[in-house]
Amino acid sequence: MKICVISNLYEPYERGGAERVAKFMVEGLTAGGHDVVVITTWPQSGVSVEQKEKVKIYRFRPLNLFYYLDLVKHGAVARAIWHVFDVFNWPCALRVGSILRRERPDLVVTHNLKGIGYLLPLIIRRLKIKHVHVLHDVQLAVPSGLIIKGKENDPLVSGSAARIYARACRALFGSPNVVVSPSSWLMKYYEGKGFFLSSLKKVIQNPLPITKSSPAVKLQRQNRYLFVGQLEKHKGVEWLVDFWKTEKRSDELWIAGGGALKFDDLPVNIKLCGKRVGAELNNLFVQVDWLIMPSLCYENSPTVIPLAYQNATPVLVANIGGAEELVQDKETGCLFEAGDVDSLHRALEKAGALTNAEYEKLSRNCLALADEFSLQKYVDKVILL
């Protein structure tokens, strides 16, 4: 089958889990013998067409005020104008339509389209190609794609401008043949907003990459916790660092990721590891006891949680959005109240009080659960819907 995967970002231009899921999907499709075409963006002018192993990749820069990854560098007015152009980006839709007519795929799978335009579903419908859309966040209803705990009623989340934006996105997206969500929370969120009324809707957890390694169950702890993610305030990493410093914790906190936040005057037990991916990130997991996710925003289905499981690492996760659906409390980790110092303190106490035998059991459970995130199973489920 010839399958076209469309994602606003694709390696090496990536920012978070959504782009990694798109890449994993492409790897799974090619491993399954499918002919794969990727349509994505890049910051340079002009169009690039490259054959990378078994994948044909089209890259172009959408016509707009600035490139998607530069959005954070601009003020509120410029961002608002950018979002309007993005929703109704007709030149971008025509370019993608031209590629689709040339390639003539049997199936189009779209991931995040912010920055590449929301007219694409209309183009796909007009070309009468089967369309599967994979949800990753709330960006079809909230322009920023973020809902912060305690700010659910913020004007940019639920005000009149946000409602007009959501109405436009709902009309343009219509009802793709299939809509896939990695979490029940996110699917229910969109259903409550009236999206995808006639689509077949399925909850399928995000996949893990194909790996040939066989990590061992962890037997002995090293008193280290690992944060992996964007160094942005909404990810809770600043809050976590403040907690670690205020509580004067003696165990180590390792931080892996890149972003706008900068940390100075850190105690010796807080280590900045920089952005790590692939084998480098797996190597960090080998050296720590727990993954800790202190998100202050409503998460969908963070790919780093199953990645921790793949590395036999239990998790401490804020119970916000769909993230808690990935955690089997007391079996693969522990949940705590997002943004609540006392709740995190209790979770860390429980983690520290585990015997070696109890910790080993959690590690073993994580490794066993990782099989549920098989890439090939995921791809088969999506394309056979």
Query: 184 and 153, same structural domain?
Result: yes
Among 150, 172, 203, where does a domain finish?
203
**Torsion sign, CA atoms 372, 28, 124, 165:** positive
Residue 219 forms part of a structural domain: no
**Per the structure block, which two tokens stand in for 196?**
């995808």
C-alpha to C-alpha distance for 86 and 42, rounded to whole angstroms: 15
- Rounded Cα distance, 137 and 141, in Å: 9
Note whether 86 and 20 are within 8 A (CB).
no
User: Does residue 329 sit in the same domain as residue 270?
Assistant: yes
Q: Are residues 360 and 247 in the same domain?
A: yes
> How many Å apart are CA 300 and CA 309, to the nearest integer?
17
List residues bridging with 99 in a β-sheet. Answer: none
The b-or-e profile of 95-104 (16+ CB within 10 A means b, else e) is bbbebbeebe
CA gap 225, 292 in Å, rounded: 6
| Residue 383 maps to a domain | no
pLDDT tens for the chain, residues 1 to 385: 999 999 999 999 887 788 989 999 999 999 999 999 999 999 998 899 999 889 999 999 999 999 999 988 899 899 999 999 999 999 999 999 999 999 999 999 999 999 999 999 999 999 999 999 999 999 999 988 899 999 999 998 989 989 999 999 999 999 999 999 999 999 999 999 999 999 999 999 999 877 766 677 887 778 899 999 999 999 999 999 999 999 999 999 999 999 889 998 899 999 999 999 888 999 999 999 999 999 999 999 998 999 999 999 999 999 999 999 999 988 999 999 999 999 999 999 999 999 999 999 999 999 999 988 989 889 988 888 7
Q: How many domains does the chain have?
A: 2
Within this chain, do residues 196 and 318 fall inside the same structural domain, yes or no?
no
Confidence at residue 53, expressed as pLDDT on a 0 to 100 scale: 85
Same domain, 171 and 233: no
Helix or strand or coil: residue 107? strand
**209 within domain boundaries:** no
Closest to 47 measured CA to CA, from 57, 37, 55 = 57
**Within a domain: residue 379?**
no
Contacts of 192 by beta carbon, 8 Å cutoff, 6+ apart: none
For residue 139, being part of any structural domain is answered with: yes
Same domain, 252 and 285: yes
The CATH number linked to 264 is 3.40.50.2000
Which of 203, 238, 262 terminates a domain? The answer is 203
* Shared domain check, 154 and 284: no
Following DSSP, what letter does each residue of 259-284 receive, concatenated?
A: SS----S--TTEEEEE---HHHHHHH
> Which region, left, alpha or beta, applies to residue 333 given φ > 0 means left and ψ of -120 to 50 means alpha?
left
Together in a domain, 172 and 236: no
Q: Name the DSSP letter for residue 205.
A: P
- Please work out, in degrees rounded to the nearest 5, the angle formed at the alpha carbon of residue 223 by the alpha carbons of 220 and 227: 115
Q: What's the burial of 283, exposed, middle or buried (CB within 10 Å: 0-12/13-18/19+)? A: exposed
Strands 35-41, 2-6: pairing kind: parallel
> Is residue 279 assigned to a domain?
yes
Burial class (CB in 10 A: 0-12, 13-18, 19+), 19: buried
Same domain, residue pair 44 and 138: yes
Among 172, 203, 234, the domain-final residue is 203
**Domain span at 154:** 2-203
Edge-to-edge, what's the strand order for the sheet holding 270-274? 270-274, 252-256, 224-228, 290-293, 315-318, 333-336
Return the pLDDT at 195.
Answer: 97
Residues 179 and 234 in one domain: no
In this predicted structure, what is the pLDDT of residue 29?
A: 94
pLDDT at 72: 83
> What is the spatial distance between Cα 264 and Cα 176, in angstroms, rounded to a whole number?
47
CB atoms within 10 A of CB 76: 8
The per-residue DSSP string of 10-33 comes to BTTB--SHHHHHHHHHHHHHHHTT
**Residues 24 and 167 grouped into a single domain:** yes
pTM for the whole thing?
0.90
DSSP code for 79: H
Quick check: is 381 in a domain?
A: no
Question: Does residue 184 sit within a domain?
Answer: yes
In whole angstroms, give the CA distance from residue 260 to residue 262.
7
Q: Are residue 92 and residue 172 in the same domain, yes or no?
A: yes
